[in-house]
Structure 1
C-alpha cells in the first residue's frame, strides 16, 4: 500500500452517510472517488475529509464501477466498515480544537469549559490560559484541512460552516512564522477569525442589520448617525456610542484594532487595555 494510502476502520458504516462524492466523468469511477463534502458524525473520522480519495470498500476496489452502485453499496453497510483512502491534502499539525454551538453561540474549550462568544473574545484579549491564544493559526474546519487554501477559499469554508449547528475549528500554536504568513497575508489568526465568524442567530442577524435605532442610546440611525457593529457583542450602535479600541497582545506583533460599543469598551478597559481617550474612560 502506498505511503499516502490509509486504512480507515469504522464500527458502524452508517457514519459515512454524511459523505458526498464528486460524480466522475461518464458516471464510471476511474481509480478512485473524490470526497466532495463531509457532514455529521463523519466529520470526526480521521482522513475522511473533502479532497481525499476513496479507493476501496472492505478491500474491494471501486475502480471501473458505476458511481451509483458504489454509493448505494456504501450507504447500505450498517456493520463494520474498512475504507482505503488516499490522503491528497496533508493535514497540518493542530494543537487545539474548539467546538462552536452556533444555535446558542457558545464555545467549548479544550479544558471542557464553555464560554459565550463575547466572553471568549475578551479572554483572548486578556491572554487568559484557556488553551487558545489570539495569535494561534486556523488549520482545519470540521476536519477539512486548510493546507493550500488561500484566504478567499478559507472564508468560503468558514461561511459554509457557519450554517451548521456544530462547528469544529482546529488551531496550531502561534509562531512568528505563522503570524507573518497568516495574519499579514491571510488574517487567519484566532482573533481575526473568531471576531469575524461571530454573529447572532439567523433571526437576530436580520434584526441587527435592519436595526433603525442604537441599542444603547436608542437614537435613530440617519445621515449623521451611522450604525456600527460591535466586534465584541455583535450589536449595532451609533457613532457616539462606539469606540475605536486598541489592544496589545503578546502573540500578535501589531496592535489589535477593532470597534466596540461603549459598554464593551468599559469591560475591555477594566482589563487594562487602551481605549480612545475621547470616551473619558479610565485608561491603563
Structure 2
C-alpha cells in the first residue's frame, strides 16, 4: 500500500511539462547551471568517471553531453563467442523470459500486451511465443544503447504516451507501464530472424535519440518510418543504436525457438553492455 501511495503523485503531476523543463536545463550551456547540475548529479549517484572518455566534469558543454558521455575504448569489451547475444546497456535486468501468447511480464503480478507495446497487432505476431528482456538503466549508468546482435533496420516507430518513472517501485505498481509510456520501437532483420529493441521514455527523460534519426521529436501520433533495402541501415553487433538523455529502459524481443537467455540472469541482476545476455539456439 505504501508503494502505491508513493507512485500516486506521478498520475497527478504534468509529466511532459516537467520533462521539457528538465530538458531545457539539461541543454543549458551556462557554466554555473551546467557545472552545478553535473557536479551534484555525479556526487549524488556516485558516477564512475574513471571509465569515461572525458573524465573532467567541467569539460562537458551541457548536462546532456555528460549524461550521454562516451566511454574509453575497450571499457565495455564484447563477449567474443559467436553465438552470443549481447546485453544492450548497462543497468539491471528488470525481467526476462518467454512471451506468453500476447503478454509480457512486467513485475509483481503485472503483465502488459505485446501488441500494445509495439502499437501493432501485425508486428506483434512475429514475437508471440518468443523471448523478451527488459533492462533498466539507473541514473548512474552509461546511457547509450547498443545492438544485441548485428541487424538491418527495417522500421522505426515512435509511439506517444505518458512518462511514468520506470524504476522497480513504479513497475510494481503502475499497470501496463512500458506499453503506456512514450517509446521508440526499432525493428531489425538479423541472422535469428526479426528482433525489436524498444527505447522506453520515462519521467524527466529529455529525449530519445537514435544513430539513424537523431533526437526523436515529441508528438501526439504514432509515426512510422520504413527503411526499404535500398535505404538500408545495418548495425554491427555491439554498435551504438540509440541513447537516452536522462535514463530509462530498453526492451529486446526475439521470435520463438531461436534463442535463450543466460541462466545467470534474473530480476535485479546487474548488467554491463557487451556481456553475454543470451545465446542462439
User: Highest CA radius of gyration, 1 or 2?
Assistant: 1
TM-score, length-scaled by structure 1: 0.23
Greater RCO, 1 or 2 (C-alpha within 8 Å, sep 6+): 2
Q: Which has the higher strand share?
A: 2
